[in-house]
Structure 1
Amino acid sequence: MQQEDLSFVRTELEPERPAPAGERGIARWLRINLFATPLDSVLTVLGMLLIVYFVPPMIRWAFIDAVWSGPDRSVCATVAQGGIQPEGWSGACWAFVNAKFEQFMYGRYTVSERWRVNLTAVMFVALLVPLLIPRVPHKFLNAVAFFIVFPIIAFILLVGGWFGLDYVATSLWGGMLVTMVLSFVGISVSLPLGILLALGRRSRMPVVKMLCVAFIETVRGVPLVTVLFMASVMLPLFLPAGMTFDRFLRALVGVALFASAYMAEVVRGGLQAIPKGQYEGADSLGLSYWQSMGLIVLPQALKLVIPGIVNTFIGLFKDTSLVYIIGMFDLLGIVRQNFADANWISAQTPMSGLIFAGFIFWIFCFGMSRYSIYMERRLDTGHRR
């Protein structure tokens, strides 16, 4: 049999060639993300036109024509060259924010004792950052330090009256200090309390279920303003003569209870999404109720409702501004309070102050949102290959 001629068979691989210009680099990204369809192209063009129309004036207002420092409102009517701006001038008055910055952060907290607030903030960040990074070890000890030890130390530092520290009344607290304390306590208390309320609402014990349902539906049926008003004004009327609680403490309790009612419904939704087989599997292993919940059901349920939990946290962080109605001044409240300062009354002061407060709120809320997305992706192991 004659040997066949195999000269046409390739003995070497074809060298790699670059992808077409339209399938790589910036051209591919533009085609996929901005011009994939005719409708996408139209929306992209409209978006660019809106950006061109709105962004340059905003940049000019916030940076080019803005005034960054000065002793009073007079600087907000003067250009960098020294001339007076015409009527309707729209440059930002960041000099107001610069002059009131410490008050925005600390409120009327004693100036000589503000190092205690700074130390508390440093401790907060030092304990929170390792807790949020999954690769950092010793999470249990970190959690104990953050949720148990840190609140005690922070209370001693901020309030004082012990270990030679001067007492600082909570009526002097304000600004970012109040916002952070209210949100931290509300978030730390609402999640575990919300989990207990959700479990109680699904309990087979009628009394426990009835009490949890009554609490959740009552609190969710009224606005936070009403809860704060009741805690601040009405609660002292029902207490025995001579008994009273600090107003700030009453606000903390009201915010925490209000958030826990909403958190309970978020967690209950996650519990209802768990298949019945998970409960039956836990029973087949001989686990008790709390063991099955803590080891099998709750970890899966909480993973499913991370967006809802973080959404409740974000709403709670923003709702701290409502304490303004009971005479307490968080960041937004103290910014608004300073609008009445005769030295800074001008057309640009309110806009500049509100944008500053809004930007601070946005930073924290955006950070919580991005971290929740990161945790969702990290914990989404159900469909990994």
Structure 2
Amino acid sequence: MSEEIIENMEVGAEAVPKKNIKKKLTKEEKEAKALFERKLLIDRVASGTISTVKDKVAFILNNHNEARNSDIKLAYIFWRTFEEEKLDGKEDISVETMLKLTKQITLSRWRAKIQYDYKLFLADEDVQISRGKLQGQYKREALDHKPANLPLYQVFIDETGKNEEYLSVGSIWLLGYNPGLIIHSMEINDWKKRKKIEYEFHFSKLSKHKLEDYKDFFRLFISKFPDIGFKVIVLKSKGLANKNEAIVDLTFHLLHKGIIHEHESKRAPLPRMLQVRIDDEELGSDTLKLENIKERISGQKVDGLHLDVFEAVSSAKNHFIQAVDLFTGAVNRKLNFPGEPNFKDEFAEFIFDSLGFDITNLDSPSEDPGTSIVFNLSAKNT
């Protein structure tokens, strides 16, 4: 299926959902189309690859829970975020200025499509009821009430070491999710174009002749996102009967311990919304894994923590997924391959040096809230 939007009509800067006049789709075709478009939208929002009005509306809904409940707030935040140059620095928006901006009805239509067709970034329960859209299974699965203007924990997760002595789950914690993310993601894409790099950055794909490009990418990434945090949880795999279940357990503990660490260190105190994204591998298993993790986190009833989007996303254009892959791969290299060092060991050491990360003593994690941290479960299993 191509990425064309059958139900769109582009009008200047606007993209207004219209009825399909070419073909009446069956219910199954509509559901398949919605799932396809939903996946594309999730990937773009998670990677900061934002271009269309729909992408921008989704970006606002992802980052501003109050915009999910109010089309007026959605429009105001949209204009202030993406069309500031049309406002001429004025707080009050005149009728003349309004005519230059993307129409509120356009934004409302995209909000409705994203929430009702894609089931993403849903409004609070009482708002859904007032809109007449909360029913059936979605009423049973309604989101909890959230305070307005909640900041985020946005966590990107990767796993490694299934067949090695140590099993590890690594993560990147993004705490400031704003339009700068779009700019910085574009800058990294531009760098790749200048370098004529068409491949993704994955630790397992590292070769000697790509070593310097890998270093440059990671160096550029952390320079563009200096406030991110890296966390990893480690467990000796000896005696584990089911590695997949162990990964679910480790991911849960990583998130739970990470939230407590961010809150108690005052780096990112609660209340916040938690968003979790993993590299997509297999739709069914990814969905089940995330639902299990989400249910366990919910069961902890952490005061001030509100669970939001838990999704599998493509790594293709997502610098966060690729960066956490490199970080987790470096941890795996250090723990599980103690033989004669080569270029992969050099890259792993480069990552640790760049982050000020010390993994030589798993029982002594750094207490600096701005740097990486290791949660070690292995001592309980030795």
- Shared fold by TM > 0.5? no
TM-score of the pair, normalised by structure 2 = 0.21
**Higher strand content, 1 or 2:** 2
Larger Rg, first or second structure (1 or 2): 1
**Higher helix content, 1 or 2:** 1
TM-score of the pair, normalised by structure 1 = 0.21
